[in-house]
Each structure stands twice: as C-alpha cells, then as structure tokens.
Amino acid sequence: MVTIRDPIHGDIEISQTERRLLDTGEMQRLRRVKQLAMAYLVYPGANHTRFEHSIGTMELAGKICASCEIENEKTEQLRIAALLHDVGHVCFSHEGEFATKMALGTHEEIGRKKMLEGEIADILNENWGARKISELSASQDFGGIISSDIGADRMDYLLRDSHYTGVAYGIIEKERIVSQSAFSHSGLFLREGGLSAGESLLIARFLMFSTVYMHHAVRIASAMLEQSLAIALANDALREDFLLLAGDEEVLSELAKISSCTKMAQRFKERNLYKKAHFADFEPLSPELKELLKSGQAQREISEKAGADVLISMPQSFVGGAEVFVEVNGQKRKISDISPLVRAMSETEKTRARVLVCCAKEDIEQVAREAKNYIGK
C-alpha cells in the first residue's frame, strides 16, 4: 500500500492497482483541469483540480462500502470506478463541457471510452475487466455509492470546494452520513438516524450553489469562457483530439492565438471580466420570454440593439430533483416527503434564480437600457 496525504481526508492508502491507474497519462492530465474552472478569478484559493477530487471520491466510496458491509472485491471495484469517475472531463470541467459536449460528448461518455481503450483499459483488464468498471458508476444500484445525492462524489466536492474557496457553507458531517448509510438492491439510502445529516448535506449544497458556484462574477467568467470555446469550435480552430488531451492553461494559450478569441483570452489573463448590466428574477417571466432567453435569441437581439457584445447567463436548478431516500419505520421515503427543510429549499431556490446580463464596462449604460426594455425589471 502507498499513502497519500490529502488536506480533506488525511492519510489515504491506495493499492498498487490504484497507484498504477493514478500514474496513467489520462489521470495525470486531471492535474491540469481545475475543479471549479473560472472560480479562481473570484476565489483566489480555488486552484484545486479534478485529480485530488478523484482521489477523495475513491476514499469516501471505500468508507461507504465498509459502512454498508459490501464485500471486499466489490469494494475494490467501486473504489476504482470512483477514482476514474471524472477521467473524461475536458478543460475547465463542467463549464468547458457546456461548450464541447455537442462535438465530444459528455464527460461520462468520454470517460467510458477512455476506460475501454488504452493504458487504463489494459490495467483494468488484468483484474475485473474494463467494461465492468466502466459501467459501475452509471449502474442503478452500486453506482449510487459514487454518484447519488449522498454519494462519495458529492460529499468530496462540497468539502473540497469549501476548503479551497475559504467558505464554511460546504462543511458537512461526512462521518455521520457514512455511518448512517445503508445499501439494498435499489441503491444507497440513509437510516432514520441519518435524516439530519442528509438535510445538512442538501443545505450545504444549496448554499454552495447560491453563494459560490453561482456567484455573479463566476457566472460572468463562465459565460465568457463558454462563448470563447463555442466560437473556436464553430470555426474549427480547436481540434477535438487536442481538447481530449489538453488542460486549462493549454486551451487558454490556444484561444489567445485565435483572432476571434484573442481579446477574450486577454481579458482572462488580466482578470478584466465583463460587468453586470442587468438582472431579472427568472420565475415570474413569461414562458415565451424564457424560451427566447434559453435559445439565445434574446442575447442576439439585445446585443444588436445596444451595438455591443452581450452575454446572458441563465440560472441553474440545483435543488429540484434531489433524490435522497431515508428509511422511516422500515420504509424508504424520499427526503423531500418527510423534511419541511428540503421542501423549503426548493421554494427558496426559485426566488434566487436570476437571469444575468453582462457586457464590457464601457457598454453598461446602453446594454442596461436595452436589457431592461427587453426583459423587464
């Protein structure tokens, strides 16, 4: 066994197979992919990567398996699946994926391909088979240990993102959640004693989204990045094989060489971000206006009327659909059915969902005027 010192989980012991997988080129590439993409421009400490998150997810998956008394061989497989669950992420994580998924697929799809061929597949095929491991994360039963709303992936990123951004919102009681986790053929759930810990995790996720991940400056930087990548891809200026191998800084360097993206790349380098020109609550808007905003037509029309480059950032849903099950009196029930706190968060989310219109500082006056006329207050 080899020991890795992690700032979130302390000493993590890894097997020789896990070490070999970590040493593959595909996993080492994740050292060059930031976990929170452009958030470092707002939170200077947010320079952590998908690499350490993958190790932390593996560690928590193993602890959940131990609590649920899952057999050793299956635990080994799930640790490996957890370690590789983000191997398909392209540059800038989810923000990069928004722009590249039409050309490259989702990070889950890319990850499965990387597990089924090349160096990773060779290592997996020595033991349990590459296909078996590639299917574990997405499976309806065991996959929940990694990717469910109380799974290892979510717990690690909340704790890790909170630590590196310097906020307390993502601190959760991971030991309680792990100890109260149970497993059946239908997947991972919490025992009744884990209800409060489950609520606290969902509250932490709500607060991290509403204050960190959806911070207005983070949204603006992300919108600028997505536009730059979309323009480069539309002009065939970034090769698909390059994007599958590159990290964040490599892609930024390439964007700087593309004439249509040079100015935006320079803005990132100097942290000269667009500014907020207008915002509006999303929920009260008419269905017709919502569709114009989602389709990009509103952005094009406001930009044309204002005579300036305009970006519109749409709100994300981060509470609705959370599926945490808690065993109450021998029956598994959805946490939203038994927790007024969780139901209240769903309603609160609607009041915080805002459309954000941004532009260069010198264009704020005319963009604000046109956006207000188009969208309303």
Average pLDDT for runs of 10 along the chain of length 377: 95 97 98 97 97 98 97 97 97 94 94 96 95 91 94 97 96 95 93 94 94 96 96 93 95 95 94 97 95 96 97 87 86 92 89 95 97 91
- Alpha-carbon distance 185 to 119, whole Å? 33
- Alpha-carbon distance 356 to 313, whole Å? 5
Q: Which one is the CATH code of 276-315+353-377: 3.30.1370, 1.10.10, 3.40.720, 3.40.50?
A: 3.30.1370
Q: What are phi and psi of 42, to 5 degrees?
A: -110, -45
Scanning 216-311, the segments in alpha helix (DSSP H) are 216-234, 240-245, 248-257, 262-270, 287-295, 297-306
Q: What are phi and psi of 322, to 5 degrees?
A: -60, 125
Long-range contacts of the stretch 174-182 (C-beta < 8 A, 24+): 174/60, 177/150, 177/201, 178/60, 178/63, 178/64, 178/67, 179/67, 180/67, 181/64, 181/67, 181/68, 181/150, 182/68, 182/327
Q: What is the pLDDT of residue 376?
A: 86
Q: What is the pLDDT of residue 321?
A: 62
pLDDT digits (tens, 9 = 90+) for 295-321: 999 999 999 999 999 999 999 888 766
Examine domains 2-215+325-350 and 276-315+353-377 and report if their fold is the same: no
CA distances from 234 to 97, 99, 227, 247, 332 (A): 15, 10, 10, 20, 48
Region class of 236: left (phi > 0), else alpha (psi between -120 and 50), else beta: left
Q: Which residue has the tokens 């307390």?
A: 168
Residue 54, C-beta contacts closer than 8 angstroms, at least 6 positions apart: 27, 30, 82, 83, 84, 85, 86, 87
pTM: 0.95
- Alpha-carbon distance 374 to 197, whole Å? 44
- Alpha-carbon distance 72 to 133, whole Å? 15
- Alpha-carbon distance 261 to 48, whole Å? 26
CATH number for the domain formed by residue range(s) 2-215+325-350: 1.10.3210.10
Amino acid in the structure at residue 22: L
The structural domains of the chain, with segments of one domain joined by +, span 2-215+325-350, 276-315+353-377
Q: What is the pLDDT of residue 260?
A: 93
- Alpha-carbon distance 84 to 303, whole Å? 42
Q: Determine the 3-state secondary structure of 67 from DSSP.
A: helix
Q: What is the pLDDT of residue 101?
A: 93
